[in-house]
Chains A and B, each alone.
Chain A
Amino acid sequence: MNSLPKAASVLVLAVLVSACSTTHFFVVQEPLRAGGPERASADSFGGAIEKTEVLECESNAVAEVRVKRDFFNSLIGAITLGAYQSTSIEYVCSKSEDDEVPVLGGSERGEEGQDGD
């Protein structure tokens, strides 16, 4: 019987937390993910302050972005009447594709054994 209040409290907490959290997942149609998710800061103080966050992707390309806003972010935003907004951003870089897939090994057909496909 002791488990009932515990269960109820966990259920309420879970519903509260999950109901007030949002996740948006943006992904290209055929993602070429490179590495794992990296985190970027996305805090802002008032609408007039904007910070440019430069994502560290050597390929200059992003495969996917996750945007998460949880219960506590939302609560703080509400308490500060929107002056402070915090969102968790995760991104995954994209790798580049082969320019061509060569056929290697025919040294008579090109420099260092390479020829085009």
Chain B
Amino acid sequence: MATDPKLHRRSSNRWQNWHETYAVDAGRRYELHPGSGGLSPAKFRKSAELVLDLIEEAKAEGKVLRAVGGTWSFSQVSGQQDAWILDTTYANRKARLSAGAMDAGFAGDADGLLLVQCGVSIFEINRYLEKERGRSLATSGASNGQTFVGAMSTGTHGSAIDHGGIQSQVVAIQLLSAGGQNLWIERPSKPVASAAFVQDFGAELRRDDDLFDAGLVSLGLLGVVHSVVIETRPIFLLSASQFEHPYDDRLKQAMRTLDPAGIDIPPEVQVPAGNPRPYFFQVVVNPHKQDTPTRVKLMYEEPFPATHQIDYRLQGKYGAGFDLPGLVGKFLDAVDPLTPLLTSKLFDMQLKLFANEKGTWGETFDFTTPRSQTAGASLAVPADRCIEALDLAIEAHKQFGPAPIVFACRFVQKSPGHLAFTRFEPSCVIDMDGLNSMNTHLVIERVRSALDAAGIEYAQHWGKFHDLTGGRLAASYGSDLDRFRAVRSALLSTPADRQTFSLAAQETVIGL
């Protein structure tokens, strides 16, 4: 028998993020359940009403409400001490839109659109699109455990060089906010759903670029994103290769221009004759040994052959224990002379060499073995300043390290959203990933300081470790930050409204 959506209040208020970098005692914890029997507009309305009622209850009680997804973020951007936490991950319904749902001005392919509720994970989207629809995401982060809405709300970047961050695939946002606001937000230049369709969802249609750009990367500061409509693309294969390459002028030029055609690609790597531009480009540098070659990963797009069997299944294997990364990090804090040796070993183990491994998007960016007590930060810089920034990072590590950390450079186009951190055309993202140790955090902060001192523009990934100050935030986002604030003030007109959707970790620096 079909059941209706419901809220479930959990008995325990203890909450922890996936990577176990922080834990809080929430005021209350709720889960949003979608009900059984398939999605319908009536169920979507009911689900939205439950959330809208919860928003008003939290506001009346003077509580902050934080919606959380896969809790993948390292930084304190989701759960918050004493806040009411709404776990959205169960709310995982999807729907296609018929041609009859489209606005008369819609110019795309309705068959390529997918409506996803807030709890749908990247894996669920991959599996549905690739196995049942012959379609694919164009980009995502490197793992599949995040919810799409959560990854979008923090501006997750990926490394598809001709695409923006994950949010660049969104064409409509359903936002639930204070005062019973149930908004369906689109761009005026890209209308999607008809007014009748939106009304079926109990929502109010708003076509407003500023509101859309604020809603794309909103950090939960505008309300609860209940669903989004995404544009997908026809399914394709990626042919992935990883090889060594010296950190020389040719590679540096490739990193500045996002064009690796001039580097030494090993002969065993099959470069498509008609399309030599890779879909994905990544360079990983081991800062512990200057003479160690970098690891370059290239992925080329290929047609999807009908004979390819898609397989996402996990295989049983030994791996690092859940406490081991933290233990090793603490160990290396105490015995830092061993850091270069151990990090270099990990570099070799984690970044094996291979050529022409084929897989769909979902097979390539699959389940990540949970890594608790790892740490990471990401800085986006203009691609033409990528090498300056990377050299400063290497130098900062040399001066203030060693730390159990490596630098990975990924590349994306400028991404939509007022608070999108990949805001440069195009952007080079320097991911600083390693074990969660004091030295790791020290080096990351020294890298930020070095960029500040050199006057290199940069912005930081919201979901990874950042130490934002008001000055850094203003320098990163400039007038876009003002636009975001203006949208928020218009949407949340009273102090109580704004309090309900606030974020303590950022409150002092965003000044909201």
Given known A-B contacts A21-B321, A107-B100, A102 and B31 have beta carbons under 8 A apart: no
Given known A-B contacts A98-B39, A99-B38, A106-B100, A34 and B197 have beta carbons under 8 A apart: no
15 interchain pairs (CB within 8 A)?
A3-B335, A10-B335, A18-B321, A23-B321, A35-B71, A56-B12, A58-B8, A58-B31, A97-B92, A101-B94, A105-B98, A105-B194, A106-B101, A112-B42, A115-B98
Judge whether A36 and B16 touch: CB under 8 Å. Answer: yes
**B74-112 CB contacts (< 8 Å) to partner A:** 87, 89-90, 92-102
Q: How far is the CA of A112 from the CA of B18 in the complex (A)?
A: 38
Chain B proximity mask over A29-41: 1 for CB below 8 Å, otherwise 0? 1111111111100
Choose among B36, B41, B95 the residue that contacts A99 (Cβ–Cβ < 8 A): B36
Chain A residues with CB below 8 A from B479, complex form: none
Judge whether A18 and B327 touch: CB under 8 Å. Answer: yes
Which 8 A-B pairs have CB atoms at the shortest separation, nearest pair first? A105-B101, A105-B98, A23-B321, A7-B335, A106-B98, A106-B100, A34-B89, A29-B313
Is there a chain B Cβ closer than 8 Å to A114's Cβ?
A: yes
Determine how close the nearest CB of chain B comes to the CB of A104; give it in whole angstroms: 5
Chain A residues with CB below 8 A from B98, complex form: 103-106, 109, 115
Is there a chain B Cβ closer than 8 Å to A78's Cβ?
A: no
Chain B residues with CB below 8 A from A21, complex form: 321, 323
- Identify the interface centre among A30, A56, A98: most chain B CB within 10 Å of its CB: A98
Judge whether A105 and B100 touch: CB under 8 Å. Answer: yes
Is there a chain A Cβ closer than 8 Å to B409's Cβ?
A: no
Determine how close the nearest CB of chain B comes to the CB of A61; give it in whole angstroms: 11
Q: How far is the CA of A104 from the CA of B229 in the complex (A)?
A: 12
A-B pair number, CB within 8 angstroms: 157
Given known A-B contacts A33-B70, A98-B92, A100-B38, A105 and B97 have beta carbons under 8 A apart: yes
Which stretch in B118-126, B251-259, B483-491 binds the other chain? B118-126
Is there a chain B Cβ closer than 8 Å to A52's Cβ?
A: no
Q: How far is the CA of A66 from the CA of B370 in the complex (A)?
A: 11
Is there a chain B Cβ closer than 8 Å to A53's Cβ?
A: no
A-side interface size class: 35 or more
Is there a chain A Cβ closer than 8 Å to B290's Cβ?
A: no
Q: How far is the CA of A18 from the CA of B321 in the complex (A)?
A: 9
Extra A-B contacts (16), CB below 8 Å, given A32-B121, A33-B145, A112-B40: A6-B334, A7-B337, A10-B334, A14-B331, A29-B314, A35-B31, A36-B16, A37-B16, A68-B323, A99-B38, A101-B132, A104-B39, A105-B97, A106-B99, A107-B100, A112-B41
Chain A residues with CB below 8 A from B96, complex form: 101-104, 117
Is there a chain B Cβ closer than 8 Å to A27's Cβ?
A: yes
Judge whether B90 and A98 touch: CB under 8 Å. Answer: no
Chain A residues with CB below 8 A from B31, complex form: 34-35, 58
Chain B residues with CB below 8 A from A6, complex form: 334-335
Chain A residues with CB below 8 A from B312, complex form: 30
Judge whether B37 and A114 touch: CB under 8 Å. Answer: no
Given known A-B contacts A103-B96, A105-B102, A112-B40, A30 and B335 have beta carbons under 8 A apart: no
Chain A residues with CB below 8 A from B331, complex form: 10-11, 14
Is there a chain A Cβ closer than 8 Å to B365's Cβ?
A: no
Determine how close the nearest CB of chain A comes to the CB of B387; give it in whole angstroms: 35
Determine how close the nearest CB of chain A comes to the CB of B225; give it in whole angstroms: 18
Residue of B nearest to A59 (CB): B90
Determine how close the nearest CB of chain B comes to the CB of A24; give it in whole angstroms: 10
Judge whether A34 and B90 touch: CB under 8 Å. Answer: yes
Chain A residues with CB below 8 A from B101, complex form: 104-106, 113
Is there a chain A Cβ closer than 8 Å to B307's Cβ?
A: no
Is there a chain B Cβ closer than 8 Å to A108's Cβ?
A: yes
Residue of A nearest to B115 (CB): A104
Chain A residues with CB below 8 A from B8, complex form: 58
Chain A proximity mask over B13-36: 1 for CB below 8 Å, otherwise 0? 011111000000000000101001
Given known A-B contacts A23-B322, A23-B323, A98-B92, A105 and B197 have beta carbons under 8 A apart: yes
Choose among B41, B93, B145, B327 the residue that contacts A17 (Cβ–Cβ < 8 A): B327
Chain A residues with CB below 8 A from B338, complex form: 7
Is there a chain B Cβ closer than 8 Å to A80's Cβ?
A: no
Determine how close the nearest CB of chain A comes to the CB of B22; give it in whole angstroms: 11
Determine how close the nearest CB of chain A comes to the CB of B196; give it in whole angstroms: 7
Q: How far is the CA of A96 from the CA of B39 in the complex (A)?
A: 13
Judge whether A31 and B41 touch: CB under 8 Å. Answer: no
Determine how close the nearest CB of chain A comes to the CB of B369; give it in whole angstroms: 8
Residue of B nearest to A94 (CB): B90
Judge whether B16 and A99 touch: CB under 8 Å. Answer: no
Judge whether A98 and B119 touch: CB under 8 Å. Answer: no
Judge whether A95 and B119 touch: CB under 8 Å. Answer: yes
Is there a chain A Cβ closer than 8 Å to B11's Cβ?
A: yes
Judge whether B87 and A35 touch: CB under 8 Å. Answer: yes
Given known A-B contacts A11-B331, A30-B312, A104 and B197 have beta carbons under 8 A apart: yes
Judge whether B327 and A114 touch: CB under 8 Å. Answer: no
Judge whether B97 and A31 touch: CB under 8 Å. Answer: no
Judge whether B97 and A104 touch: CB under 8 Å. Answer: yes
Choose among B17, B313, B324 the residue that contacts A36 (Cβ–Cβ < 8 A): B17
Residue of B nearest to A22 (CB): B321
Chain A proximity mask over B300-327: 1 for CB below 8 Å, otherwise 0? 0000000000001110000101111001
Q: How far is the CA of A112 from the CA of B93 in the complex (A)?
A: 17
